Structure 1
Amino acid sequence: MKLQHYLGGLEGLPEPLHFEKRVFVEEWEKRIFGIHVAMMGLSNHLGSALPQYPIDEVPTTFKDEWTWASLRTGAEAMNPFDYFKFRYYEKWLGGITQFFIDQGYVTEDELRSRQEELAAAVAPSPPESAPAIDDQVIDYLRKGDSPRRDVAHPKFSVGDRVRITNVPAAAHTRLPGYLRSREGTVERVFEGDYAYFVHTGDGIGDPMPIYIVAFPPEELFGARAEDGPLTIYAELFEAYLEGVQ
């Protein structure tokens, strides 16, 4: 995971934060969100998800796996300068576009040609009707995608002191950089073991316990921590925790 994806605790960022409350600022952002949802609704991994979907019977040319992890991996692979230059859904668009190019669904020349057509205001051809595909995506929106789960097998209990690991990050991780090697206290143990969408290479993937860990600000930020009764909480997979002797 690159620097731009764990900015917690850093000072002196070049621009002030903007607390935009609208989900979609521009109309085109709704379409990007829709494309992402449709890809998740047609993803191969749904064949083994709960509830199961008859994904092999859906007549779609999309034959790959696409989850939230895929979207996040694409964003994390961006050049940091591009990451800060683009808007939120522009990053989504970049990741989705690169995925389609890498997987051979479209070439860069085809994409460039289509961009020129749109710039010239050429009306796009209406899409062919695909009711079976529409039905599958609608079914996915109603049922969702429950990750693989199991009954809880926690190694730690509420009140235990734990240290956050500093495992090397592969293409994608769910461990924020500013928590690495820090110590906290288990505040809550979730009711079951939960899997992540994919195996990230840093320990998560199969079902495992998830904890809420509490950190005092001075543990994370040292002398820069602000005074006051503040506590920082993080939800973390068990693979990211180790016991403190």
Structure 2
Amino acid sequence: MKLQHYLGGLEGLGPVSTETRVFVEEWEKRIFGIHTAMMALSPQLPLPATPSEFRTVWTWADLRKGAESLNPFEYFKFRYYEKWLGGISGYFIDNGYITAEELDALTDEYLSDPSKPLPTGGSPAIDERVVQYLVDGDSPKREATVSYEFEVGDTVNIKNVPSVAHTRLPGFLRNKSGTIETVYEGAYVYLCDTGSDGIGAPMPVYCVRFEPEELWPNNAEQNFSLYADLYAHYVEAPATSGTRA
């Protein structure tokens, strides 16, 4: 479990960035575009075939896993799209699209000559698929029959599930208790199977309300609640003995 997942309530992590610009530098727009095109061309989507050579699955989960694989000290050092750049670059290397040596050589080439023209080309079919993806989206909601273990008003505990590469459960909620605020209709999947973390297949999602004193005892402001949408696998009934599993 990475330090990045335990930020809630931690102190002394350094100054908080107040940057309000979506893109700080021009190259960040290109990284956003590359990520969007990769998602649109990912082969699991039911979209028209294109001549693209992109042949492997890429989702928001893969982007997050790439960023979270960074050493925590590196993670906190880089800005938002710098993390994206690292994750995407590592993905292309790991999947054989380019070698680390080739990437380093191209980087040196463009650093030595910033005015060097970028590659051109592309295909109208690729452009059309990207546009269709942006219009259609990729909803996590699925038509599946599921049973709901909890209802609005129930008190629940949050599990401390084992996580390796990626999780959707914030660290500061683990082993805490809350109240079911909303039971979302339908079943929801995640973008990938997270293994021991336990999500991926269609399951219910609950909105859970937490009180600040439960999350940060003797160290929280009052008169507010924190809400988190959590997959059913993360939520369990309180232990009858009064102790948490």
Per the TM superposition, whether the score is higher than 0.5 is yes
RMSD over aligned Cα, in angstroms? 1.4
**Rounded Cα–Cα distance in structure 2 between residues aligned with 1:170 and 1:125:** 37
**Rounded Cα–Cα distance in structure 1 between residues aligned with 2:37 and 2:210:** 38
**Rounded Cα–Cα distance in structure 1 between residues aligned with 2:202 and 2:169:** 16
Counterpart residue number, 1:128: 121
**Contact 2:141–2:186 (Cα < 8 Å) also in 1:** no
Counterpart residue number, 2:34: 35
Note the residue ranges of structure 1 that are not aligned, 5 or more in a row.
47-51
TM-score normalised per structure 1 = 0.92
Tell me the number of residue pairs that the alignment of Structure 1 and Structure 2 aligns. Answer: 236
Alpha-carbon deviation of 1:126? Answer: 3.6
Which residue among 186, 198, 203 is the counterpart of 1:203?
198
**Contact 1:158–1:187 (Cα < 8 Å) also in 2:** yes
Which residue among 200, 216, 221 is the counterpart of 2:211?
216
Aligned AA (1:157): E
Aligned AA (2:3): L
Alpha-carbon deviation of 1:129? Answer: 3.4
Aligned AA (1:71): L
Secondary structure in structure 1 of the residue aligned to 2:143: strand
Counterpart residue number, 1:176: 170
Note the residue ranges of structure 2 that are not aligned, 5 or more in a row.
241-245
| Residues 1-245 of structure 1 aligned to structure 2 (within 5 Å) | 1-13=1-13, 15-46=14-45, 52-54=46-48, 57-121=49-113, 123-124=116-117, 126-147=119-140, 149-150=142-143, 153-201=147-195, 202-226=197-221, 228-244=222-238, 245=240
Counterpart residue number, 2:243: none
**1:167-215 CA distance string (max 9 Å, x none):** 1002111001110010110011112111111110111111111111111
**Rounded Cα–Cα distance in structure 1 between residues aligned with 2:141 and 2:50:** 22
Alpha-carbon deviation of 1:224? Answer: 1.6
TM-score normalised per structure 2 = 0.92
Q: Find runs of 4+ consecutive structure 1 residues off by over 3 angstroms.
A: none
**Rounded Cα–Cα distance in structure 2 between residues aligned with 1:73 and 1:184:** 28
Secondary structure in structure 1 of the residue aligned to 2:192: coil
**Contact 1:162–1:243 (Cα < 8 Å) also in 2:** yes
Secondary structure in structure 2 of the residue aligned to 1:186: strand
Aligned AA (1:218): E
Alpha-carbon deviation of 1:21? Answer: 2.0
**Rounded Cα–Cα distance in structure 1 between residues aligned with 2:118 and 2:153:** 61
Counterpart residue number, 1:49: none
